[in-house]
Amino acid sequence: KNQVEQSPQSLIILEGKNCTLQCNYTVSPFSNLRWYKQDTGRGPVSLTIMTFSENTKSNGRYTATLDADTKQSSLHITASQLSDSASYICVVSFLSGGYNKLIFGAGTRLAVHP
């Protein structure tokens, strides 16, 4: 069954600290993996998107890694800011009937405290 599991479920860190969020997936055939940031009550906003051949991708203070062999990804946030408080969702895309289909993880809720 195609699944995306994220850990931890929630995380509290102090402003300025770094953190790493984890994503494990069992999705086949794999197309790409995305990390989204979702503020409460808002739509998801894309942070990174990686294909099978990409191991790492950065977007400012966000760095995503992908190990397609172990089917694991991580999102590292550097020098956290209060505005980083949000849910971070790992989304894996697979091909179904010729179309890309997205499977969403449950997200990690990050709270950055001053």
Partner 1 sequence: EPEVTQTPSHQVTQMGQEVILRCVPISNHLYFYWYRQILGQKVEFLVSFYNNEISEKSEIFDDQFSVERPDGSNFTLKIRSTKLEDSAMYFCASRGTTGYGYTEAFFGQGTRLTVV
Among 27, 30, 44, 73, the residue binding partner 1 under the rule CB under 8 A is 44
**Residue 18 in contact with residue 76, Cβ under 8 Å?**
yes
Q: Is the dihedral of CA 102, 105, 111, 112 positive or negative?
A: negative
Tokens of 28: 């086949």
Among 1, 9, 29, 41, the residue binding partner 1 under the rule CB under 8 A is 41
Burial class (CB in 10 A: 0-12, 13-18, 19+), 41: exposed
Q: Does 93 bind partner 1 (CB under 8 A)?
A: yes
Among 12, 45, 82, 111, the residue binding partner 1 under the rule CB under 8 A is 45
Q: Does 42 bind partner 1 (CB under 8 A)?
A: yes
Q: Does 94 bind partner 1 (CB under 8 A)?
A: no
Among 32, 59, 72, 74, the residue binding partner 1 under the rule CB under 8 A is 32
Among 18, 55, 83, 96, the residue binding partner 1 under the rule CB under 8 A is 96
Binding site for partner 1 (CB under 8 A): 31-32, 34, 36, 41-46, 49, 51, 89, 93, 96-97, 99-107
